[in-house]
A = this chain, B = another copy of it.
Amino acid sequence: MLTHPVRRVLSRRLSVIKTKQSTRRCCSSSSIEDVDQAGTLLQLCVDRHYVSPGQPNVELFQRGMCCSYGPLGTELRRNLLDQWWHSVTGSRAQVFGLNTLSSSSSRDRAADGGGQLRMVESEHLKQLLDRQELSKEQLIQEVRMLLQRSPSVRTNLLQGALEQFVPSMELVNRKLPFGLAETGLCLQPSRGSGCPAEVTQTSLVWFCSPRTSSQWLDHWTRQRLRWWRKFARSPSDFSSSEVPEEELEEPASRGVRIIYHFPWGPESLETLWSRGNSELLHTHQGVRSKLQPRGGQKSIPHVVSVTGNMDRGMMAFLSNSLQQLKREDSKQRLQQRRVLKLHPVLAPVKVALDIGRGATVEMRRVCEGLLQEFLEANILAWPGYLDTAQTSMEQLNTKYDEMGVLFTVVIGENTLESGLLQVRSRDTTIKETMHISEIRNFLSRYISAADNI
């Protein structure tokens, strides 16, 4: 598999990362060049509130697992999942959203690792262990039964969609093709490594006639690759590749991976399998009559699954959008400028609001009014004006560029008189003067224009 050698390389590199916040302001131009790209990226994610601090947490993120996200990471994940949802449920009339349970006691988990992870009520198990009257054999028997009764936790979203196939057929008048989309947390068994980890999965399960399944696999591969590339700064880092025959997992007859080429090597973001119909039949105890579509077709639908890892997807977009530029600062020292050029639709913070020199109560009020206006228009604004520490404009720009903030608005004394404010663009670094009444529409138009390209 793709992940193992990569993980080892990254683990070594990760050791250079200090997650302590205090180190973040003293990077000189020379030390930055020493730290490798993966380290820089992860450090920046912690410093700029994408990922919560702490070595174990950063390691989860770096392994492509769900971790504790800070406010910016939380918004980026929301935006990414929203875009995935609209792209998949909106791409065809026959895709329907779904929500299934993440744990289940009754469910047949055959397609799901056979119930490897079970949710056990700790008190019940402890009470069993305390029952002195039980012989060893009786105890073993009781523990087995407790385990059997305990709900198993899902490791993917496929099984839930297979179970909902029959009621969902009613939605489309029992006609093929159609699909079921779902996003949610899944657990990955540790495979001996210690602790199971969570993954934010996306899943489209597509039901189609047997003879079209390979074409549909191609269709969805194109659709998904286009989607990943739409938000990329450098689209060619995203590619698709057919899974070699020797790596095919039962019962798949074909597979395609959407790959991102991280600086440390390729990793898989989304996987498409043409799975045949054995799992569908198994889930419904082989009752073929329930599964047959309307019309002359007597064949059982085939399943194409499209499964994504959005935690790794986040890291791909963060990595892809990080631009490092060398430039001289005002004292002619060589400096590294780091900009997180996230796509305008994905960028968690669209605009930061700050106050120039000579902050007054009135200027603060203008900021608060403007912030409210942005929030009402669903434009996430960063309340920079709350931070009253003395910071130069240059430091502020560095901070916002690393956060990936699209625009910085500075309210000056001037604004109170003329209504004019300064707007700096992350991507061009150009500062424009704009009237306060125009800024909201300007931002809305900018974001929706970027969405429609």
Contact = CB atoms under 8 A, between A and B. Distances in A.
Contact of A97 (B52, B74, B120, B182): B74
Interface stretch (A26-34, A165-173, A258-266): A165-173
Contact of A98 (B56, B69, B118, B164): B69
Sorting the interface of chain A by its residue count into under 10, 10 to 19, 20 to 34 or 35 or more gives 35 or more
Given A93-B386, A116-B122, A69 B99 contact: yes
B102 A198 contact: yes
Chain A interface, >50% SS class = mixed
Contacts of A160: 68
A383 B94 contact: yes
Given A71-B98, A71-B171, A140-B129, A383 B93 contact: yes
Count this chain's copies in the assembly.
2
Nearest to A87: B375
Contacts of A98: 68-71, 74
B120 A118 contact: yes
A136 interface: yes
A167 B58 CA distance: 14
A101 interface: yes
A94 B194 CA distance: 38
Contacts of A69: 98-99
Given A68-B101, A90-B376, 4 more contacts: A21-B167, A67-B101, A68-B99, A90-B375
Interface of A: 21, 49, 52-53, 56, 66-71, 73-75, 77-78, 85-86, 90-91, 93-94, 96-103, 105-106, 115-123, 125-126, 129, 135-136, 139-140, 143-144, 147, 149-153, 160, 164, 167-168, 170-173, 175, 182, 185, 187, 189-190, 194-196, 198, 368, 371, 375-376, 378, 383, 386-389
